[in-house]
Amino acid sequence: MGLVFMLYGCSHSSPFGRVPVSVTPKLVEKVYEERIPLNVGLYITDEFKNYQFPLSGKTFGLTYDFYNLGSESAGVFEFGLGQMFDKVLLVDEKPPFSKPKTVIPGVVIEPKIDKFALEMPTLAFQTWISRIQYSITVYDPSGKAIWTKNVEGLGDTKGDYRQLLSPPETKEEITQNPSRSATKAVEDGTSKALEAIYSSQEIRGLLPKEKKQN
């Protein structure tokens, strides 16, 4: 079963059972060549916000529970969009809107998480690989989907060799490797999605003519 499993003991000896694994993506300040002169709506569904991934792999006798993939991704999208558009409005429905809005967004952006996966190495100090797949759909004010994009975020991080020296004493220690890998995947995937949104000609095509020329 490998050195790590020998050091940690069989699956029935772990005192932890189910452990929560958090992702902590950084909010990166970015200056674009130009801010797109458009108000955008960000539609975050409960399914996206509450997305979880329980990985039941008998890993050292426990189950990894990635519990905040969606909520942390939502925060990155809101922050990132705020740096490229005039205003970001959190909306609770897709257009056409059933309730009047004080400010009508020029487009509404809906992110989804299609898939998450973690590849665990045989030895803790080897590379841990996480993958997360996002799909982005952009709607015009009438509710028509004008643009979609699928991206994959990759998190490949070297494991912490110190976990080889002795059995982990806390849940934080044993979740460090999958957390770092998953965090990197979220950062990579959201960055790719935001860059694609900024470059979308379909979104820019909705700008008023005078703003297109400026």
54, 86, 89, 139, 155 from 101: Cα distances, Å? 38, 17, 10, 16, 39
Domains identified in the chain and CATH numbers:
29-213 (3.30.160.150)
Residue 208 pLDDT: 76
**Pick from 119, 122, 126, 125: which is nearest to 154 by CA?**
119
DSSP symbols for 142-200: TS-EEEEEEEEEEEEEE--GGGGTS--SSHHHHHHHHHHHHHHHHHHHHHHHHHHHHH-
Q: Which two three-digit tokens encode residue 106? A: 């020029």
Q: What are phi and psi of 56, to 5 degrees?
A: -95, 90
E-strand ranges in the chain read 18-21, 36-43, 53-59, 62-66, 85-91, 107-119, 127-139, 145-158
Cis, peptide link before residue 96, omega less than 30° from 0: yes
- Which residues, in sequence order, are bridge partners of residue 91? 43
Determine contact, residues 124/4, Cβ cutoff 8 Å: yes
Q: Which of 175, 84, 90, 190 is nearest to 132 (CA)?
A: 190
pLDDT of residue 14: 43
Q: List the pLDDT tens digit at each of the 214 positions of the chain.
A: 233 332 332 333 344 567 889 999 999 999 898 999 999 999 999 999 999 887 655 455 667 889 999 999 999 999 999 999 999 999 999 999 998 888 889 999 999 999 999 988 877 788 999 999 999 999 999 999 999 999 999 999 998 765 544 555 556 667 888 999 999 999 999 999 999 999 999 999 988 765 655 5
Q: DSSP character for 12?
A: G
Instruction: Select from 195, 142, 190 the least CA-distant residue to 26.
Output: 190
Give, as one character, the DSSP assignment of residue 206: T
